[in-house]
Structures are given as C-alpha cells and as structure tokens.
Amino acid sequence: MPDKIVLLPDNIANQIAAGEVIQRPGSAVKELLENAVDSGATEIRLILAEAGKSLIQVIDNGSGMSETDARTCFERHATSKIRSIEDLFHIRTMGFRGEALASIAAVAQVELKTKRAEDSLGTYIEVENSVVRKQEPAAAPNGTSIAMKNLFFNVPARRNFLKSNAAEMRHIIDEFTRVSLAFPAIFFSLSNNGQEMFHLEAGSLKQRILQLLGNNYSTKLVTVKEETDYLNIHGFVGKPDVAKKTRGDQFFFVNNRFIKSGYLNHAVMNAYQEMIATDSFPMYVLFIDLDPAQVDVNVHPTKQEIKFEDEKIIYAFVQAAIKHALAQFSVMPALDFDLDASIQQLPSIQQPFTEDRKSAAASTSLFKGFTQKHQAHFIERSDAGNWRDFYEAGPAQLPGEKSAAPDPLPVIPKHIAEEAELSQILNSYIVVPSGTGFLLVHQQAAHERVIYEQLKKAGKDNPVASQQSMFPVTIELVPADTVLLEELMGDLQQLGYGIEPFGKNTFVVRGTPADIEHGNEKHSIDLLLEQYKHFSNDLKFSKREKLIRSLAKQQSIKTGTRLTEREMRELINNLLVCESPNAAPDGSPVYLEFKGEQLEKMFGR
C-alpha cells in the first residue's frame, strides 16, 4: 500500500499559517505597522482602498532592507529578532516570529520597495501566492513601502467571509489606534480611498490620546505613574464622571505591546469601586514596563494574549497605582442628592422641630433602635415569619432579582388602565390599581418596550416620523465613530434620523425622531453610538436589531423623570397594544403584581 503522509507544498502551508495570523484586513494592518515601528521609523503612513480589501500600503522612513533581506523576508520564519531559544524570553520588539510577511504573501499580491541609507539604489520585489514574480534594483527613498493588493484573491472562501467595508474599517481603526497609542513619538497617518482620516503629529501620550479618543477627555485625565524595581506603570485614567456604558476606551500595553487581559481589567475596576456605577467602565491607557523575562508573549499568533510569571503582583500593583493616582488628584466618590422640590413643602421640613417634638421622637422604638446599644437586630413583633411567607409565596420577589417577574405575568386590564387613577412613586414607577391589589410598572422598561416595537415595525414603506430642523446642526466625531455612523446611516434614515456626511469626520443633522429636543442632537447621537457599541459584541443580534435596541434604550423615559397623569396614561395605553407588554427588550420584567393578601401578610395581618 502507498504511504499516506506527504509534506504540504509551501504555498498551501503558508496559506494555513496565514489563517492564524491574517484573519482580515485589520490583522495585516497590525503586522505591517508593527514591522514599520521595529524598523526605527519616525513617520509611518497607512494607505487603504476599500477598507483594505483592494489595497493595504504602509510607507515608513525606517532602516530599510538590503537586497538579500528584502528577498528573504518573505520566507516562513525569516526573522531578524531571534537567534537562539534564549532570545525568545528577552523580546522587546513588536514582531519576532517571521510569520507576518510570509502569511501576507500567501494570500495577497505584494509589492515591496525598500532602501537603506547607505545604499545608492533600493530593491523592488513582487510576490504572488508565495512566489517571487519580479525582483530588480529601483530608485526609492530611505525606508520601506510595502503594498498588499486584493487580499484573499486566491482564497475566495476566505474573502466571502469578510464583512462590509464599514465593518472592516472599524477593525482597521482599532488596530491603528492601538499601535499609534503605544508610540506617540512617531508620526502616523491613515487614508482610505484617497481621504485622510487620521493625521497624528508626534507628541506626548496625552496629545495622542486626545487626537484618537476625542478632546472631551482634555480635562478628564488623571496621570498614573509608579516605579519599582520589579515594574513601572505609567499612563492615564479617566475621572469617574467620564465612565461609559461600553469598554471602548480601555487600553493596556505591556512593554509597548497592546494586550487583552480580563484579569488586569478587573484590577482597574476594583480601583474604581464605589466611584462609578456597576454597569459603567472607566477609561484608561496604561503602560506596564517590566523585564521581558517575566512575561511570555509567545502564547497566541496575534500576540495579544500574554502570560505573566507572577500575575498577583501585577494585579496588586495596577490596582494600587490607580487608587493612588485618583486619591492624589482628589478624585473621590461624590454623593448625588437628587432631591424632589416637592419634599421642601412637606410639614416636616417647613415646621420647626420643637422640644416637644424632640421628646416625642426620642421615645419611639425606632429612635431607640438607632441610638441604644445592642439594638441593631431588635424586632418589636415576634411573628416575623409572616415576612418570609410573603417573599416565598408571592410573585413579588426580592428587589434586584431577575426572577422577580411572575410566570405568567398578569395582563393589565384595559378598563383599569383607562379609568383608574394612576400615580407615580420615586419618579420611576407607575402604580396601576387592579381588582385585587396593584401593578407596579417600571416606566423606563415600559417605554423601552413601546419604542422597540414601534421601531421593529418601521421600514422603507413605514418610516418613523422625523422632525426636520429649521437650522441643521453640524456635529464632529472621532474617526472611529465616523466610520460607525456611516455604516448605520441607511438604517437611521428609516428610523427618523436625517444625517448627511459633511467633510472629514463631520455630519449635518437635518432631522431627528420627534421626541428628541432641538439642541440635543449631538448628545443623542453620541449616546446612540455608545449604546450600539455596547451591543456590538453580541453575535446573536443583527445590525438592525442592535440599532433598534440601542435607540429604544437611548430614547426611553429614564428613571427619575417625573410624569404627568396624561403622560402616564399614554405610556400605559401604548404598552397595552404591544405584542409582549410584560418584558423589556432585554428580557427584564416591565411590571410586577402585588396582591392584597400578600400586603396583609407583610403587615402581619
């Protein structure tokens, strides 16, 4: 019988390796930018066509390559960084495995032009499908220009898996942002289809953060800087008041290499404990420098996941450094006193607290429970078991539990919603009387459900009503959000937004959904994009579903908003005609039922 095992041809082996390293245009951008950084360049330009599908070109003014190196660099595992196994544990460069250019040459048509300062002529090379098609001397400036055209031209199945240009562009901007943040002393630019999107002059880290993440951080950054014999940490964290609902603006670098680490992110979140809401994420750009022997970067093809020799030390150090920085800049948790003006009119506030009133208050069991020793667990009634009966038996559960919604939930009787007197408590809940008790409706959840179902029905034939602005508003976004808004514009048009591009990173808002106040357009769109990014990692949602959920969250009446009787009734009536009135889009309950007998048990009756 013939032998079964054969060696793969080089071009197929390279394509398989490319599948690990070059997953999409953004992967190639990362590898090429890192090579340019390693070359010692002070200026790096990224040029794209069709979000990298047709062209990815990186031009640098670095050291360039000799004729021999230019030819060898496309071979698998060709590297200038590793000579022995020991070198693998002392890596300070970005690339080192010699896989990137070989992988790129396996799945794209590559043109390389390079020249060293000491050479009079440079070298021009064309590579296709891992085969060198042309090599000749050429006039060239010092440095290297590498252009890869028609990504995955020879692997059509892989090309079919690429997303829309706008989606691929967002991945490219992510990679560009990470590399350019790590090296603020280098000039970077990014152009797509002939339009320059980023022009980042060399400068300080703070300047680079503002260039990339937006000037709204200009007065909101706190400096982090701690040094020890084991490791150093420096960078910036955002003040608590700029924490967002998404993780977008969070960057960790170890020896200038961007990494993803849920473990270190947890250390940051702990440092902000009680300063920000539990569902918010602080902004940070942090650099950890330590001996390369203490860290293994060779655990993943993209080199974004690394292993520390002692994770606990790093965790404790990061947490302590951020706490120290926040304390040093007097960033302390603030109490939010959201006092209802009507409270000021209550007799207990208006009337003087006389000596008689003081004595009467001091004699109560409640006062004694707070002021006398050993009273913390004092319960005046002995039949406290009734409380347990209430919580175990009734559909109204303990606060904060998602299982609180009874299954099935009661339907709000139509005649009650139309005739009964509605009331609001805590400016967040609507009380709807029922025959046997009452329903407690969460006003924001209810409004989210109403808006969600209205938007689901919207389409080309049934667009959402839009109010046109007499004076259109011009808004400017950071480049990453520009790409995202361009991707969403078609769907937004059907959902009540009239938005048009107006030059670099700028848009004109000519119309908005009817319930958005004039003058609030920029804030509304910022919140919409932020909410969309919050859903962007959830693969089970389509783009339109993410957008509709984002709009429902963003446009809904927020908790803490006082409603008139007419507004409450309109909300309840709109809820009644929904297909699923008992659950918000995220599955949480819209209302809970409290029955009379359960209330009686609570009071021990």
Judge contact between 534 and 585, C-beta under 8 A: no
Instruction: Report residues of the chain scoring pLDDT below 50.
Output: 81-91, 95-97, 298-303, 333-346, 349-350, 376-407
Quote the CA–CA distance of 29 and 179 in Å, as a whole number.
10
Query: What per-residue string of b and e applies to 97-111 under the rule 16 or more CB within 10 Å gives b?
Result: bbbbbbbbbbbbbbb
Sheet holding 591-595, edge to edge: 423-425, 429-434, 437-442, 591-595
**What residues have CB less than 8 Å from 356, skipping those under 6 apart?**
none
Judge contact between 159 and 60, C-beta under 8 A: no
Judge contact between 395 and 593, C-beta under 8 A: yes
pLDDT of 337 reads 44
CATH architecture for the domain at 209-328: 2-Layer Sandwich (3.30)
CATH number, domain 10-200: 3.30.565.10
Closest CA to 521 of 474, 466, 561: 474
Judge contact between 511 and 556, C-beta under 8 A: no
Quote the CA–CA distance of 246 and 282 in Å, as a whole number.
9
SS3 state at 13: helix
SS3 state at 196: strand
- The number of C-alpha atoms within 13 Å of 502 and in the hemisphere containing its C-beta is 14
| H-type alpha helices, 272-379 | 311-328, 347-350, 355-362, 365-371
Mode of pairing for the β-strands spanning 284-290 and 250-254: parallel
Judge contact between 435 and 596, C-beta under 8 A: no
Asked if the peptide bond before residue 408 counts as cis, ω within 30 degrees of 0, the response is yes
Quote the CA–CA distance of 531 and 563 in Å, as a whole number.
25
The strand pairing partners of 126, in sequence order, are 111, 134
**Tokens standing for 431?**
């009380």
SS3 state at 552: helix
SS3 state at 588: coil
SS3 state at 289: strand
Read off the DSSP letter of residue 380: S
pLDDT of 44 reads 97
- Element containing residue 105 per DSSP (H, E): helix 100-107
pLDDT of 357 reads 62
Judge contact between 77 and 98, C-beta under 8 A: yes
The strand pairing partners of 290, in sequence order, are 231
Alpha-carbon separation of residue 289 from 177, 227, 233, 234, 369 (angstroms): 20, 9, 6, 9, 54
**Tokens standing for 145?**
């220009």
Quote the CA–CA distance of 366 and 381 in Å, as a whole number.
13
Quote the CA–CA distance of 97 and 81 in Å, as a whole number.
8
Quote the CA–CA distance of 270 and 436 in Å, as a whole number.
46
pLDDT of 223 reads 93
Write phi, then psi, for 405 (nearest 5 degrees).
Answer: -70, 125
CATH number, domain 347-605: 3.30.1540.20
Number of neighbouring beta carbons within 10 Å of residue 224: 22
Closest CA to 175 of 299, 43, 56: 56
pLDDT of 136 reads 93
Provide the phi-psi class of 471: left if phi over 0, else alpha when psi is between -120 and 50, else beta. beta
Alpha-carbon separation of residue 230 from 226, 227, 313, 314 (angstroms): 11, 8, 9, 10
pLDDT of 88 reads 44
Cα dihedral 181→187→190→196 (10° resolution): 130
Q: Is the pTM of this model over 0.85?
A: no
Q: Where are the domains of the chain?
A: 10-200, 209-328, 347-605
Judge contact between 264 and 228, C-beta under 8 A: no
Strand ranges inside 265-325, DSSP E: 284-290, 295-296, 307-308
Quote the CA–CA distance of 348 and 351 in Å, as a whole number.
6
Quote the CA–CA distance of 241 and 220 in Å, as a whole number.
8
